[in-house]
Amino acid sequence: MKSFLKSLRTRYAFYRQCYLDAKRFRDSISPGKLGPAAAVARIEGDIVRQYHVIEKGLTMQDFRPGFGKDVVRGLVRSMRAMEKHPCAARCDSGQLAAARATLREYHERHAALGHDISEILPDNCRDLWENATPGDGGSRPFTPVAPGDADAFERVVRSRASVRSFDAARTPSRETIMAAVDLAMRSPSVCNRQTARVHVFTGADAQRALSFQSGNRGFGHRIPMVIIVTSDLRYFTGTAERYQGWIDGGMFSMLLLLALHTQGLGAVSLNWSVNNERDRELRKAVTIPEYERVIMLIGCGYPAQNALIPVSLRRAGSEITRWNFPVVPT
Ligand SMILES: Cc1cc2nc3c(=O)[nH]c(=O)nc-3n(C[C@H](O)[C@H](O)[C@H](O)COP(=O)(O)O)c2cc1C
């Protein structure tokens, strides 16, 4: 009886946490739950998703004239909705420029083929794209990596390691961190929605953030800077995307770790494997909005002289790779 009750309690606690995770996601993607200012992100997310679908169509080897008509119309509707929104000024102007340039290329590619798209992109939408700057969005040529660059990349990847010994007296500059963040923005994300967000804390604020995290014992007190990576859930559209924030945020974090390393910094990933109660404490202390999901923390600073790192042996790639195993016939 006692063990049955215990298992019931454990199960309840587990499903409660899953429910709270789901609730955060649901609330963040529901326009009704967001104030008008926050809801702009939702329309911006639609714009990015829609123009990116068109961008992809523009790169297809087999160009299909008239492709994506519903998406083009949807994009026009989203751009018009943004124009009318009282908080439109909060929309990322770069993303709007990309949407306009994409529409412009869509128009020009069809015009070059003599294919009439007036049903899809009528003349009264001309204002949306005619002043666009080509190159802000649409397609561009792919540049394969140069051989020397591949070696450099391998050296960067192989030399990166989690650093837990920091020079506590040196705090990285804003420029150094921003250079790394800008590079990390090159990480892929679903429909290029770029939901990763970065919160940077130094000194006592960094220590306060670390006080909620359990994996920095023994070295956290010497960490001069903490970066909290989150994902802005407002940009997601439905249940099927419920885990996308963790994936996009994780990929962003990996690239950020490499970028910090190339800046000569040491960095250590710090797990955010916590229940919603602890999550609430951290977000309250460091003011992270409800619609952002904390992905992980990163301790960061200049490595101490003669810093040691664990060997952290890796399995061979062949151990974890499966090639052409039998596929069940349909
Ligand atoms: C999501 C994530 C969370 C982690 N959390 C911690 C942590 O809380 N404390 C810690 O010391 N290391 C943490 N690590 C670092 C791992 O221990 C480390 O990446 C792994 O052992 C491989 O070593 P390397 O990073 O030096 O290659 C974390 C790594 C990841 C990816």
pLDDT tens by residue, 317-329:
999 999 988 888 8
Looking at the predicted structure, is the pLDDT value of residue 194 above 90?
yes
Domain total in the chain: 2
C-alpha distances in Å from residue 204, one per residue of 160, 164, 173, 288: 27, 18, 16, 17
Q: Which amino acid is at 119?
A: E
- 91, part of any domain: yes
Q: Which neighbouring-strand residues pair with 267?
A: 162, 300
The reply to whether 13 falls in a domain is no
57 found inside a domain: yes
**CA–CA separation, 15 and 71 (whole Å):** 37
Residues 153 and 262 in one domain: yes
- Are 175 and 237 in a shared domain? yes
- pLDDT by residue (tens digit) across 26-83? 999 887 777 777 778 888 999 999 999 999 999 999 999 999 999 999 999 999 999 9
Residues whose CB falls within 8 Å of the CB of residue 110, separated by 6 or more in sequence, listed in order: 65, 66, 116, 117
CB 231 less than 6 A from any atom of ligand 1: no
In this structure, is residue 307 part of a structural domain?
no
Residue 320 resides in a domain: no
Do residues 111 and 173 share a domain? Answer: no
306: left (phi over 0), alpha (psi -120 to 50) or beta: left
Do the domain assignments include residue 123?
yes
For ligand 1, the distance from its centroid to the CA atom of residue 254, given in whole angstroms, is: 11
Mean pLDDT for 239-262 is: 97
Distance from Cα 171 to the centre of ligand 1, integer Å: 21
In a domain, 112, yes or no: yes
| Residues 52, 103 within the same domain | yes
**Average confidence (pLDDT) over 171-191:** 97
Note down the domain range covering 212.
147-301
Q: Model-level pTM?
A: 0.94
Final residue of a domain: which of 76, 94, 129? 129
Cα 47 to Cα 224: distance, rounded to the nearest angstrom:
38
Same domain, 108 and 172: no
153 shares its domain with 261: yes
Q: What is the CATH number of the domain that holds 156?
A: 3.40.109.10
Q: Is residue 172 part of a domain?
A: yes
Q: Are residues 296 and 255 in the same domain?
A: yes
Mutate which of 246, 271, 273, 311 for ligand 1 pocket (most atoms within 8 A of beta carbon): 271
